[in-house]
Structure 1
Amino acid sequence: MSERMDARAELERLIGERGEDYAGLSRLIGRNAAYVQQYIKRGIPKRLAEADRRLLARYFEVPEERLGGPAPDPGREPDHVVVPRLDVGASAGHGALPGEERFRSSLAFDAGWLRRLGTGDVRLLSTIRVEGDSMIPTLADGDEIMVDRGDAAERLRDGIYVLRIDEALMVKRLAVNPSARTISISSDNAAYPGWPDCRLETIDVVGRVVWAGRRIG
């Protein structure tokens, strides 16, 4: 069996094991709904594009080599990291229900830049959109924020975090009082009330916001 056939067979096996569907994975990599099925069943295209292969390998948490990529060079770090964009909003207002936190696309970031940003395990990074105005002027409605899920409750310190409160996602500023083991939750927009002196164990911290991007104009 050829290398390309092995890659297609491996992808089909992963899809079956994880209970995924062809159309959903096609949308994940930004292709038409039939793309993955045509690749597996008809061999069109003959091989996955590098960006598509990288995103699928990350999604299934397998080495790219298993999907037809080159064997990893142990002495060379990747130049770029593909960070998934999740189809969910974190409310900077009254709370957004997360629903199914599925991929909608991805963004590629320079690996060295991410290290300088202070992120840990890049597999725990994702981006989501901000909804609402309670974090203005720091964050605005529609901003894209990168959330480091590896930098959550165990490393909690003052900063901006995504929280899950009553099954809703919210982005808020936290101030930690370590001696009292309490957290004050606030908005940067003074028109919104805060919650002072919340007990640590009552807060579900999803991750720390480490980067934000927005459209200008």
Structure 2
Amino acid sequence: MSADQRHALVALAQARGHSLAALSAMLRRNPAYLQQFVARGTPRVLAERDRRLLADVFGVEDAALGGEPARAIFRVPRLDVAASAGPGAQVDDDVAIGTETLPEALARDLGLRAGQAGVIRVRGSSMEPALRDGDHLVVDQADRSPKARSAIYVIRVDGAVMVKRVARTSAGLVATSDNPVASPVPAGAIEVIGRVVWRMGRPE
């Protein structure tokens, strides 16, 4: 990435009120990652994944940060379902009400496959601070097997759709909320709908 593109990164971060340390954390890098990149040119070039994630956060084309202009998109159905981060929503069917688009390269990085992903909306506050009311989530419906290390999944419990942190234990699946003041997750068998792989943010 040229000096001009490093300057563009700084300008975009300042314009949107993001610190380089916070953006580094979003990329799951050490807090000095982007500062070192801007000040020292280390690394010399941002990884494609990092560049695309930053472009998505800033709402700009990948080319603004040194990438090629987007040429392909991945379409994901937007479902008429609110995955409750509260007591749970009763639904009968997952009805598509439109589509969202992701850069094909991002969809590839996320491991998404056509026909096995959907976008749903979060309702409630029990998964704060990780998820907020109104966030739109990309859900990989091909991943329905939680591991011992917890991850965020969309699940059904007794017909109620909710988004929770789920882990597999010796006693079976355990679902919990991130917000310590949230009500307990209702008892019942857990049906896994898919793993949350991307938070698209609250629509304006």
Alignment TM class, shorter chain as reference: 0.5 to 0.7
2:134 to 99, 119, 142: 142
In structure 2, do the counterparts of structure 1 residues 106 and 211 end up closer, same or farther at CA, with 3 Å as the change threshold? same
Q: CA distance change for structure 1 residues 216 and 145 in 2, over 3 Å: closer, same or farther?
A: closer
Task: Give the Cα separation in 2 of the matches to 1:82 and 1:115.
Answer: 12
Tell me whether 1:184 sits opposite 2:174 in the alignment: yes
Give, in whole Å, the separation in 1 of the partners of 2:203 and 2:79: 22
Structure 1 segments of 4+ aligned residues over 4 angstroms from their partners: 193-196
In structure 2, what is the equivalent of residue 87 of structure 1?
80
Task: Determine the C-alpha separation between the residues in 1 that align with 2:84 and 2:125.
Answer: 8
Partner SS state of residue 175, structure 1: strand
Q: 1:70 — aligned with what?
A: none
Which ranges of structure 1 fall in alignment gaps of 5 or more residues? 1-77
Paired residue for 2:161, among 155, 169, 172? 169
Deviations 1:84-110 (A, max 9, x none): 101111100001112432111111111
Letter of the 2:111 partner, please give it: G
User: Identity over aligned residues, as a percent?
Assistant: 39
Residue 97 of structure 2 corresponds to: 104
Q: Which amino acid aligns with 2:181?
A: A
Deviation at 1:80, TM superposition (A): 1.5
* 1:1-217 → structure 2 map (5 Å cutoff): 79-119=72-112, 121-152=113-144, 155-157=145-147, 158-177=150-169, 180-194=170-184, 202-215=189-202
Computing the radius of gyration from Cα coordinates, the structure with the larger value is 1
CA drift at 1:184: 2.2
Letter in 1 for 2:90: L
Residue matched to 1:58: none
State the Cα RMSD in Å. 2.3
Aligned length: 132
Per the alignment, in what secondary structure is the counterpart of residue 123 of structure 1? Answer: coil
Quote the Cα distance in structure 2 between the aligned partners of 1:182 and 1:93.
22
Deviations 1:36-70 (A, max 9, x none): xxxxxxxxxxxxxxxxxxxxxxxxxxxxxxxxxxx
TM-score w.r.t. length of structure 1: 0.55
* Equivalent residue, structure 2, for 1:71: none
- Write 1 or 2 for the structure with the bigger share of helix: 1
Q: In structure 1, the residue corresponding to 2:89 is in which secondary structure?
A: coil
